[in-house]
Amino acid sequence: MASFFRLTSSLRGLTRPNVTNRVSVRSLASATGTKKAAVAAQVQYEEPNEPGPFFEQEPAGPRVATAIPGPRSKDAISDLNRVFDTRSLNMLTNYKQSYGNYIADLDGNVLLDVYAQIASIPIGYNNPALQDVARSDDMISAIINRPALGNFPQADWSDILETGILKVAPRGLNQVFTAMAGSDANETAYKAAFMWKRQQERGGPDAEFTQDEMKSAMNNLAPGAPNYSIMAFKTGFHGRLFGSLSTTRSKPIHKLDIPAFDWPQCSFPMLKYPLHEHQAENAAEEKRCLEEAEHIIKNYHNPVAAIVIEPIQSEGGDNHATPAFFQGLREITQRNNVLMIVDEVQTGVGATGKFWAHDHWNLSTPPDMVTFSKKAQTAGYYFGNAALRPNKPYRQFNTWMGDPARAILFRAIINEIERLNLVENTAVTGDYLFGGLEQLQQQYPEQFKNLRGKKQGTFIAWDHPQRDQFLLRGKSMGINIGGSGASAVRLRPMLIFQKHHADILLDRLSKMAADMQ
């Protein structure tokens, strides 16, 4: 009986009838002691239909040939360490041999990758559609003639934006400021908020700067450099540049020794799981956090121009809140004339079963700005209010202001997402995977605590008492998996992750749990 699903079709996108690929862990419920490991090693499969594999010739499953890192990788890491800090290294990767959902190293190890470069690979390693775009004349021109976009945008820049980045703009947001990375996207959004706030106080976009403002700004003093703030949330993460770092509150290691702005942080709801058993407590917790948010906005000594919040706090431990919380937060920001910036750097581009995670909230009014990066392979922020454009040129500006090559790549990613219906695939696969994890949680409650992410695509996490050991064990079992916060195991598969991949993952997770029982 196979321990993982073996791909048999080379016809991408076709339906294969009677595919044997549904992991069943129900039989684990009665197993104890050494019997658990034996049962886990003989996982049963059911037979639902699913579309054929999105990638031709994708590996049939993980292959672990050596310890990780193996001898060749160790030599290469040692060589790299002479010129580059490798202390944060996870895995030295052979990208030429990585394909689809699988990541390879120099020693012949091939792992099912459910971490995906910290949620940054959207449609698989060496995707043929992206390879075609990379070879195109448009891409060649964009790479070798990279423009300073604010001064010398290429003639077709409007078309590139409208057929790509803006094609998937969140509802109500029809403009974009492009950027280089997630931290950059957040910082430029913060700048837009501050300029918007001061412009209101000054009397509108036509009001000129005073001599006092211009002189004091050069000394980093008010009124030219006003003491505004951005309100963030405890355990949130928004980047590592100076402004974004002042709103990052996930781990001290990110912030130590770095000067920071005097900006406030608000409590983020710490929900109890399973949600249906703690509805009253969770509602009270969200109410407490909303009251705290409004108190800070009204009373903080550095006036709050905007709040920034993640739909799911990713680096901080995969912390969730209900749509009611975000709806309440939006109402508070509108009532107090404060902007709402939604940081979709990690949650955006289909990961939660909707293209943008904040679509789950059903807001009556869209956020003021939505930042993006990672799976988009480019970065920036969306907005709709024309007042968020600075009143003069060069105020929101740098040399590159993004990268047409990456915008062209995102356009190709969007086309593949639409062609293969990958947002729906992620929603369906996520439900399927979550069901399997719920069964594992029943069998190993201490190793799958606080399982969360139901109906959130494959954006799933749980807490493990020996998290780091569990992640290392995953590599030895052919699974590249990541963590967040102090104890969370987080799943960040690609949008091409399918049910048969979920079966492999569930199979290996059950064996890992049995081994660590």
Domain borders along the chain are 2-130+421-516, 158-169+181-418
Helix pair 422-443, 404-419: axis angle to 10 deg: 70
**pLDDT at res. 24:** 39
| Annotation marks residue 159 as catalytic | no
Whole-number Å distance between alpha carbons of 268 and 274 = 18
Whole-number Å distance between alpha carbons of 373 and 343 = 9
For every one of its 517 residues, what pLDDT tens digit does the chain have, with 9 covering 90 and above?
Answer: 333 333 323 323 323 323 333 333 333 333 334 344 333 333 443 445 677 889 888 999 999 999 999 999 999 999 999 999 999 999 999 999 999 999 999 999 999 999 999 999 999 999 999 999 999 999 999 999 999 999 999 999 999 999 999 999 999 999 999 999 999 999 999 999 999 999 999 999 999 999 999 999 999 999 999 999 999 999 999 999 999 999 999 999 999 999 999 999 999 999 999 999 999 999 999 999 999 999 999 999 999 999 999 999 999 999 999 999 999 999 999 999 999 999 999 999 999 999 999 999 999 999 999 999 999 999 999 999 999 999 999 999 999 999 999 999 999 999 999 999 999 999 999 999 999 999 999 999 999 999 999 999 999 999 999 999 999 999 999 999 999 999 999 999 999 999 999 999 999 999 999 999 8
Set 365, 399, 455, 468: catalytic member = 399
Whole-number Å distance between alpha carbons of 227 and 261 = 9
Whole-number Å distance between alpha carbons of 435 and 495 = 18
How crowded is residue 284: how many other Cβ atoms within 10 Å of its Cβ? 12
**pLDDT at res. 222:** 96
SS3 content of the chain, % helix, strand, coil (to 5): 40, 15, 45
Give the dihedral sign, CA 383/384/385/391: positive
- Consecutive H or E run containing 358: none
Of 271, 356, 284, give the one whose Cα is nearest residue 319. 271
Residue with tokens 């593949």: 416
Set 55, 177, 237, 372: catalytic member = 237
Whole-number Å distance between alpha carbons of 101 and 57 = 11
**pLDDT at res. 49:** 64
> Do 498 and 429 form a contact (C-beta atoms < 8 A)?
yes
Whole-number Å distance between alpha carbons of 133 and 421 = 20
Name the pairing type of β-strands 175-179 and 379-383.
antiparallel
The encoded tokens of residue 282 equal: 């969770």
Set 107, 113, 343, 403: catalytic member = 343
**pLDDT at res. 41:** 35
Set 354, 374, 499, 511: catalytic member = 374
Name the pairing type of β-strands 175-179 and 339-343.
unpaired
> Do 106 and 70 form a contact (C-beta atoms < 8 A)?
yes
Domain covering 158-169+181-418 in this structure, CATH number = 3.40.640.10
**Single pTM value for the model:** 0.91
Whole-number Å distance between alpha carbons of 138 and 118 = 28
Cis preceding linkage at 59, omega within 30: no
The encoded tokens of residue 379 equal: 């970065």
CA-to-CA separations, 251 to 17, 117, 362, 377, in angstroms, rounded: 48, 20, 31, 25
For residue 220, the one-letter residue type is N
**pLDDT at res. 52:** 81
> Do 370 and 344 form a contact (C-beta atoms < 8 A)?
yes
Of 368, 334, 425, give the one whose Cα is nearest residue 122. 425
Of 343, 339, 312, 338, give the one whose Cα is nearest residue 325. 312
361-364 long-range CB contacts below 8 Å, 24 or more apart? 361/311, 361/323, 361/326, 361/327, 361/330, 362/323, 362/327, 363/326, 363/327, 363/330, 364/327, 364/330
Of 404, 379, 349, give the one whose Cα is nearest residue 177. 379
Whole-number Å distance between alpha carbons of 446 and 440 = 10
> Do 498 and 53 form a contact (C-beta atoms < 8 A)?
yes
| Residues forming beta bridges with residue 319, ordered by sequence position | 313
24 Cα distance to chain centroid = 29
Please state the three-class secondary structure of 63-117 as a single string: ECCCCCCCHHHHHHHHHHHCCCCCCCCCCCCCHHHCEECEEECCCCCEEEECCHH
Whole-number Å distance between alpha carbons of 273 and 235 = 18
**pLDDT at res. 381:** 98
The encoded tokens of residue 464 equal: 């493990």
| Residues forming beta bridges with residue 307, ordered by sequence position | 231, 340
| Residues forming beta bridges with residue 110, ordered by sequence position | 63, 104
How crowded is residue 197: how many other Cβ atoms within 10 Å of its Cβ? 19
Of 497, 479, 347, 483, give the one whose Cα is nearest residue 430. 497
Residues for the chain: how many in total? 517
Query: If DSSP codes are grouped into helix, strand and coil, which group holds residue 278?
Result: coil
Dump the DSSP string for 343-360. Answer: E-TTTTTTTTSSSSGGGG
The encoded tokens of residue 428 equal: 């369906």
Whole-number Å distance between alpha carbons of 287 and 152 = 49
**pLDDT at res. 56:** 81
CATH architecture, domain 2-130+421-516: Alpha-Beta Complex (3.90)
| Annotation marks residue 343 as catalytic | yes
